[in-house]
Amino acid sequence: MSRRIIFHIDVNSAYLSWEAVHRLQHGDPLDLRTVPSVVGGDPVTRHGIVLTKSIPAKKYNIQTGESIFSASAKCPGLVIVPPNYSLYMQCSKAFGDILREYSSLIEQYSIDEYFVDFSNMERLYKDPVEAAYIIKDRIKNELGFTVNVGVSTNKILAKMASELKKPDKVHTIFPDEIASKMWVLPIEELFMVGRATAKKLRSRAISTIGDLANYDPKLIKLFLMSHGMLVWNYANGIECSPVRENRRPLIKGIGNSTTIAFDVEDKVTAHLVLLSLTETVAARLRQSGYCARLVSVSLRTNEFYNCSHQRKILSPIDCTNAIHEVACELFDELWKGEPIRHLGVRVSELCQNDFRQISLFEKDYEKQRTVDRVVDSIRQRYGNGSVFRSAFLNSGVRFSTGGTVDDEEYPMMSSLL
């Protein structure tokens, strides 16, 4: 029986690459990947955060997660592009469709990365590394963006391999290469070692992955408990979870929020902003094939006071109007009249939407759901702005708002990758 072969395939600067390719295909002469640029927030008001950055932007020490205002201060000529999540979902699907031509076992780990079980493929591809180059180059030639491919015998080593030198590379970390390729890396480079864990490890003179791998696991467990054993195993390349086929994204919750360019001081405008946010959230909920049982609303005043409110729903919903009605009720209960600068809508406690049982005492949104599906199909074919509600005309509020996304579509891998 042949050894197990796993690929981890990760898009380089995914959102920015997808934006760049989309714009080039539509006649834009500027390749965003070649200039200091970021995706995130509003390029006019400079509100929101950096979701991803180009390689030239790294020279200005621009960090993912920092504010657009701060990034612009570091690089006055920075190109800022607002996010387009429907485009990113389409690119992710096209990326996955190519991978499914090479293996029947594909696991989508995040919007821009997949695991591929390439075991037992010797009859088709004698050399898995050569196959990895074929896949990488095909994605580049057909879809226009680059990926890194990590090749190994399990998911953790494949993922660590794909994180080595970027972009547009194929790397291996097989068991006999762990010492030379992985142990020399700083401890922060190990998957599942965050800032707090790294600080604790460095306080005990564990500064590289090799230091951790060769440390006494009993002592690691004493001060890091079960998480210590997890990262110790990862440092030694020990991980055996299978590649799980998941055609449907693994979603815990979907949310969207925006920092508003002006102070919202009346309920009508606030409800309109909530509708704009709900449009995006509900569309992504339907696209993923889920309904929600919990709706949450958050707000921040102009004096930076934050508060939130949530409500459980008797029957799961994915209808834009239904989610918006609940969001408005929550807002009305939450708001005390202060000027508002930030609003957010989030849905969670998700279930599949292929069957719904409504009660006798609640509103039937089935006709509205049909309208939503038609609108979704029109927007997918002709663009997000091809159809929108008349309420947004001359309102000063965009029909689809959101600078940052509370995106839990692909949650962090736990002890099982």
Which residues belong to the annotated binding site for Mg(2+)?
10, 112
Which residues are bridge partners to 23 per DSSP?
A: none
Tokens 């979701």 sit on residue: 51
Given 19, 107, 113, 409, which residue is catalytic? 113
- Residue 352: what residue type? Q
C-alpha span between 245 and 116 (Å, rounded): 9
As a three-state string, the secondary structure of the chain is: CCCCCEEEEEECCHHHHHHHHHHHHCCCCCCHHHCCEEECCCCCCCCCECCEECHHHHCCCCCCCCEHHHHHHHCCCCEEECCCHHHHHHHHHHHHHHHCCCCCCEEEEECCEEEEECCCCCCCCCCHHHHHHHHHHHHHHHHCCCEEEEEECCHHHHHHHHCCCCCCCEEECCHHHHHHHHCCCEHHHCCCCCHHHHHHHHCCCCCEHHHHHCCCHHHHHHHHHHHHHHHHHHHCCCCCCCCCCCCCCCCCEEEEEEEEEEEECCHHHHHHHHHHHHHHHHHHHHHCCEEEEEEEEEEEECCCCEEEEEEEEEEEECCHHHHHHHHHHHHHHHCCCCCEEEEEEEEEEEEECCCCCCCCCCCCCHHHHHHHHHHHHHHHHHCHHHCCCHHHCCCCCCCCCCCECCECCCCCCCCCC
> How many CB atoms lie under 10 A from the CB of residue 159?
23
Bond prior to 167 in cis (omega within 30° of 0): yes
C-alpha span between 346 and 310 (Å, rounded): 9
Q: Is 113 a catalytic residue?
A: yes
Tokens 């197990």 sit on residue: 4
C-alpha span between 256 and 243 (Å, rounded): 30
Q: Are 316 and 356 in contact (CB under 8 A)?
A: yes
Name the residues annotated as catalytic.
113
